[in-house]
């Protein structure tokens, strides 16, 4: 029978030098992402000490992780989340989830709104180039919006409406009328 050492809170832990750790693929995935980021920072000139301070661990721990490529098998997932946050790793990347969002479908309303926006900019005597300067959008983004290649974001709509000096609600009504006219 193994001897146990009494820990705080009344829990016992077997006295052994090595704990058996069950392999966890999710932990392994997360640890691999964290180690990649640590290696990138180290290769970019960060010191082991600066990395350790950022993560709230010792320099010895960072040194061991880098030299032995170990550490994740005993690191709690909570600690990994803390490290990921300190290293600015998005949760989706940590979990290996694809972080690309499928493109939004272009609707009839998007197409009508694109036509109305283009007309409003022409009525305001604004070229795509001038509109780009006034809105902070690129000419490519504006062209894609005007040709309904890309659905417009709220921020882009606000910027374009401000530049052409027409309220969004007026443009929405015009787009609705255009759809009704086309469906008759």
Q: Select the more confidently predicted residue: 77 or 21.
A: 77
Share of the chain above pLDDT 70, in %: 82
Say what the pLDDT of residue 16 is.
Answer: 47
**Strand pairing partners for 30?**
none
The pLDDT of residue 158 is above 90? yes
pLDDT tens-place string over residues 96-116: 776 666 777 889 999 999 999
Helix (H, G, I), strand (E, B) or coil at 72: helix
Question: Rounded distance, CA 76 to CA 19, Å?
Answer: 14
Per residue in 45-57, pLDDT (tens digit) is 999 999 999 999 9
Mean pLDDT to the nearest integer, 26-39: 87
d(CA 152, CA 130): 18
* 108-175 classified as CATH 1.10.260.40: yes
Residue 132 near residue 138 (C-beta atoms within 8 A): yes
Q: For residues 112 and 180, what is the distance between their CA atoms, to the nearest angstrom?
A: 10
21-95 and 108-175 in the same fold: yes
Q: What are the start-end ranges of the H helices in the chain?
A: 25-43, 48-55, 59-68, 77-86, 91-95, 108-123, 128-135, 139-146, 154-164, 168-183
Hey, what CATH topology would domain 21-95 get?
A: 434 Repressor (Amino-terminal Domain) (1.10.260)
The pLDDT, as a whole number, for residue 144 is 92
Tell me the domain boundaries of the chain.
21-95, 108-175
């Amino acid at each position: 029978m193994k001897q146990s050492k009494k820990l705080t809170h009344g829990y016992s832990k077997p006295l052994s030098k090595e704990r058996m750790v069950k392999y966890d693929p999710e932990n392994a995935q997360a640890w691999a992402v964290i180690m990649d980021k640590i290696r990138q920072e180290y290769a970019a000139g960060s010191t082991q000490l600066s990395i350790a301070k950022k993560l709230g661990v010792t320099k010895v721990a960072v040194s061991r992780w880098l030299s032995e490529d170990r550490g994740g098998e005993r690191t709690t997932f909570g600690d990994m989340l803390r490290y990921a946050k300190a290293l600015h790793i998005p949760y989706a990347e940590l979990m290996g989830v694809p972080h690309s969002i499928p493109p939004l479908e272009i609707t009839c309303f998007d197409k009508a709104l694109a036509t109305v926006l283009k007309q409003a900019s022409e009525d305001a005597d604004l070229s795509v180039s001038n509109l780009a300067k006034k809105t902070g959008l690129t000419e490519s983004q504006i062209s894609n919006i005007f040709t309904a290649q890309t659905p417009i974001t709220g921020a882009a709509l606000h910027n374009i409406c401000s530049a052409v000096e027409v309220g969004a609600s007026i443009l929405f009504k015009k787009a609705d009328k255009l759809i009704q006219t086309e469906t008759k």
